């Protein structure tokens, strides 16, 4: 679809001054390979009609203000979706809710099937295997902490007699649970907490590593030679945005990791009411969602991709500012205007350029697996 036709079709879906109040409203990043959908986000709207209440927030393709909020079911009618994106669109429509881990799992399944090319398939399979291994490490660490705290003997199977862990948990926390419930809770908690890494391993875990990678990217940008004022401003924007993100994400990571320090209390909280634990553990994941795409584009394109990097920086919802005290917040008063200005430059809608971006975006799927 040509640019003019696309903008006319999208006009009725535009929200010119959209700024999400919460992470759930901002939605989860979907690493589509269709050029005009790069950086889009999916969220759940209970008032939306069809396709499970899903909506897609698409950055304004003209580079202007705001986003387009599209019904999920309309995507194939508006966009010429790549094969990867068509399968991702179908699979995501079948999910009951959309969080960053859920979206990532669906996209990995689609990539493993080969719809984004062989490199992305190999990378997605390797990432899934590594995540499963890390989850098992987290599960065993939680079990070990419980054993240390309770002094209980741990049975080989959930239904085995003589372990004493359930009795010890009730003695310590006044929470009664069957061994099967404890096993199930430990497995779910391991899945939830795995991205944060273990408290004793500062650099371990996918999300702490992403923060280190972002810091390294910011450092490399500052050290790079820029030739124009726009390039220098792009670097300043990116490094300030990373600094702002780190000021929010570090406390969230610390809060999530702290949950694991008292495994008995964590398990008791989960068995009483899992929602507060879920929220606290998921804060860092929501904060860092979408930045894996920024890192992938930097790795693939370097300084030549500066304008696209600026466009991909995720908008922070109002909820994010509540995570740190006012005195510790990093303010970027000029950032929104500069980001919009960069989005109006460098658009190329020629068929050859779109094909090149398709190929690049498939490479991003491999790097951001």
Q: What are 74-106's pLDDT values in tens digits?
A: 999 999 999 999 999 999 998 878 999 999 999
- With residues binned 3-state (H G I as helix, E B as strand, rest as coil), the percentages for the chain, rounded to 5, are 65, 5, 30
Q: 134 pLDDT band (50/70/90 cuts)?
A: very high
φ and ψ at 188, to 5 degrees? Answer: -70, -40
Burial of 107 (0-12, 13-18, 19+ CB in 10 A): buried
φ and ψ at 149, to 5 degrees? Answer: -70, -40
| The pLDDT of residue 97 | 80
Helix (H) or strand (E) holding 28, with range, is strand 28-29
Q: What is the CA radius of gyration of the chain?
A: 22
CA–CA dist 29, 314 (Å, integer): 9
CA–CA dist 148, 144 (Å, integer): 6
Question: Measured between alpha carbons, how far is residue 311 from residues 37, 47, 275 in Å?
Answer: 12, 29, 33
Q: Which pair of tokens denotes residue 336?
A: 């929104």
Q: Yes or no: say if 65 and 87 are a contact pair by the CB < 8 Å rule.
A: no
List beta partners, residue 44.
54
Number of H helices, E strands in the chain: 17, 5
User: Is pLDDT above 60 for 156?
Assistant: no
Question: Measured between alpha carbons, how far is residue 359 from residues 35, 110, 119, 354 in Å?
Answer: 10, 17, 12, 9
Closest to 316 in 3D by CA, of 8, 20, 3: 20
CA–CA dist 23, 30 (Å, integer): 14
Q: Yes or no: say if 125 and 133 are a contact pair by the CB < 8 Å rule.
A: no
pLDDT in tens, 22-37: 999 999 999 999 988 9
Q: Which pair of tokens denotes residue 260?
A: 């694991």
Q: Which pair of tokens denotes residue 184?
A: 């199930």
Q: 320 pLDDT band (50/70/90 cuts)?
A: confident
Mean pLDDT, residues 214-220: 96
pLDDT in tens, 335-363: 555 555 555 444 443 333 444 666 677 77
pTM for this one? 0.83
- Average of per-residue pLDDT values in the chain: 81
3 state SS for 38-64: CCCEEEECCCCCCHHHEEEEEECCCCC
């Amino acid at each position: 679809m040509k640019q003019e036709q696309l903008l006319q079709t999208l006009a009725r879906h535009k929200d010119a001054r959209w700024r999400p109040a919460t992470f759930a409203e901002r939605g989860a990043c979907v690493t589509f390979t269709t050029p005009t959908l790069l950086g889009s986000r999916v969220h759940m709207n209970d008032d939306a009609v069809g396709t499970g209440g899903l909506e897609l927030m698409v950055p304004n393709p003209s580079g202007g203000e705001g986003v387009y909020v599209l019904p999920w079911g309309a995507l194939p009618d508006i966009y010429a979706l790549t094969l990867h994106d068509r399968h991702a669109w179908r699979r995501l429509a079948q999910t009951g809710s959309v969080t960053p881990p859920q979206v990532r799992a669906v996209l990995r399944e689609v990539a493993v099937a080969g719809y984004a090319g062989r490199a992305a398939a190999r990378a997605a399979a390797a990432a899934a295997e590594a995540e499963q291994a890390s989850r098992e490490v987290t599960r065993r660490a939680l079990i070990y902490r419980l054993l240390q705290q309770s002094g209980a003997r741990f049975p080989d199977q959930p239904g085995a007699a003589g372990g004493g862990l359930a009795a010890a948990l009730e003695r310590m926390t006044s929470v009664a649970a069957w061994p099967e419930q404890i096993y199930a809770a430990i497995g779910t908690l391991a899945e939830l907490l795995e991205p944060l890494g273990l408290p004793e391993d500062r650099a371990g875990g996918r999300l702490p590593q992403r923060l280190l990678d972002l810091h390294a990217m910011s450092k490399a940008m500052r050290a790079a030679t820029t030739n124009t004022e726009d390039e220098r401003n792009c670097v300043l924007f990116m490094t300030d945005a990373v600094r702002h993100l780190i000021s929010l994400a570090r406390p969230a990571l610390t809060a999530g990791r702290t949950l694991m320090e008292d495994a008995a209390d964590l398990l008791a909280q989960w068995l009483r009411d899992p929602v507060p634990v879920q929220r606290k553990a998921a804060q860092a994941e929501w904060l860092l969602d979408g930045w894996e795409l920024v890192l992938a584009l930097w790795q693939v394109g370097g300084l030549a991709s500066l304008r696209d990097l600026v466009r991909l920086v995720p908008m922070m919802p109002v909820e994010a500012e509540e995570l740190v005290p006012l005195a510790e917040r990093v303010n970027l008063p000029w950032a929104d205007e500069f980001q919009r200005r960069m989005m109006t430059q460098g658009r190329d809608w020629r068929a050859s350029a779109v094909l090149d971006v398709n190929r690049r975006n498939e490479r991003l799927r491999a790097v951001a697996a």
